[in-house]
Amino acid sequence: MTFREAVLAVARQNQSWLCVGLDPEPGRLPPHMRADADGVFAFCAAIIEATADLVCAFKPNIAFFEALGAAGMNALDRLIKLRPGPPVILDAKRGDIGSTAEAYARAVFDHLGADAVTLNPYLGGDALDPFLRYADRGCFILCKTSNPGSADLQDIPLADGRPLYMAVADYARDVWNVHGNVGLVVGATQPDALIAVRRACPSMLLLIPGVGAQGGDPALTVRAAAATGEPLTIVNASRAVLYADDGPHFAAAARRAAQRLRDSINTALVAR
């Protein structure tokens, strides 16, 4: 089963296009948990257990685990190996050349065992190739990110009139998607970009961060990004779920937050 098939199957089964992002900050864990790699593992494992039937994917961001050194990377490895059902998208935003890209691809897919990864397109197609060759895994290429600074480069107008991020969307569709495993990252804070990218790439998976704490509205996001038929629109929320409550009942609160987000996505999908 490919990543695309797996995420579609889980989305149908759980009736959910919500992805929960695992961006654990030791300083924000509930006070009864240890503010270290073991605490981060226990916290994330509890979030996964509390929400696995409400999501279509989990998205751990490797930076938060790397920041805890070797013990953090070990915690990430153990979390991925929990195999909770929904596939795991490793948010790594990798982009490097030749043998380095090959080393990253092995690290992400073979050693850590992630089902999908996020990739930075600035270095071009040969930097993406070592990942794309894993045809059963997903590759989400950064297109229009959710941060204010994304305008600096991604919105630059090209000689042919497109903004740069649309050149990335067109490359992804026409050149990089030879194995059918490419998706795009477009921030929920960028509704115009969501509409333009979905129009250009009607059958591609979109991974959409920026809902919740970053201010993106789930209903607006879904109306802009959902494809005809199967929505193909993975809506990620991280802090709004992880830190819904900072007391001992954080997992139950995370479950309620995930439920609310899932429901508002589904309501918007029905109304589209």
Shortest gap between Cβ of 71 and a copy of itself (angstroms)? 8
Q: In this complex, which beta carbon is closest to a copy of itself, that of residue 93 or of residue 256?
A: 93
d(C-alpha 64, C-alpha 92), whole Å: 10
- Look-up of token digits 């279509």: 56
Give the binding range for a copy of itself (CB under 8 A) out of 78-86, 116-124, 193-201, 251-259: 116-124
183 forms beta bridges with: 140
Strand, helix or coil for residue 149: coil
Residue type, 206: L
Distances (CA, A) of 11 to 17, 184, 228: 6, 18, 16
Q: Which of 74, 85, 200, 269 binds a copy of itself (CB under 8 A)?
A: 74
Using CB under 8 A, count the residues that bind a copy of itself: 56
Q: Which of 1, 122, 178, 246 binds a copy of itself (CB under 8 A)?
A: 122
Order of all β-strands in the sheet with 116-119: 57-60, 18-22, 233-237, 206-208, 182-186, 138-144, 116-119, 89-94
Q: Vertex 84, ends 35 and 116: CA angle to 5°?
A: 90
Q: In this complex, which beta carbon is closest to a copy of itself, that of residue 42 or of residue 151?
A: 151
Ranges within 145-174 binding a copy of itself (CB under 8 A)? 145-154, 156-159, 161, 164, 167-168, 171
Tell me: does residue 1 bind a copy of itself (CB under 8 A): no
Asked if 59 is an active-site residue, the reply is no
Residues that bind a copy of itself (CB under 8 A): 23, 25, 61, 63-64, 66-67, 69-71, 73-74, 77, 93-101, 103-104, 106-107, 111, 120-128, 142, 145-154, 156-159, 161, 164, 167-168, 171
Instruction: Report, as residue numbers or ranges, the catalytic residues.
Output: 93
